[in-house]
Amino acid sequence: MDAQIPGGAMRARINILFSIISQLVYCSQYWVNTLNEFWALSQSFHGMLATEFGVVSKRNRL
């Protein structure tokens, strides 16, 4: 089938690679957004804890 069309196999491979790469890029953007939201949540939660219990956790780290 590919032998009849010159460059057909190459074009098919490139299309498959391109779709895989675009899927990976989309997934990585989704994960980056999720991680950013999670990081912001943990930071605000840590800020709440720091104001609740004083700055004990920072002293313990040092």
pTM: 0.45
Q: What is the pLDDT of residue 15?
A: 93
Burial (CB count <10 Å: 0-12, 13-18, 19+), residue 35: exposed
pLDDT tens for residues 10-23? 889 999 999 999 99
Q: What is the pLDDT of residue 16?
A: 93
Q: What is the pLDDT of residue 55?
A: 58
**CB of 24 closer than 8 Å to CB of 18:** no
Sorted by where each begins, the domain ranges of the chain are 8-61
pLDDT tens for residues 24-61? 998 898 889 999 999 898 888 877 777 766 655 555 55
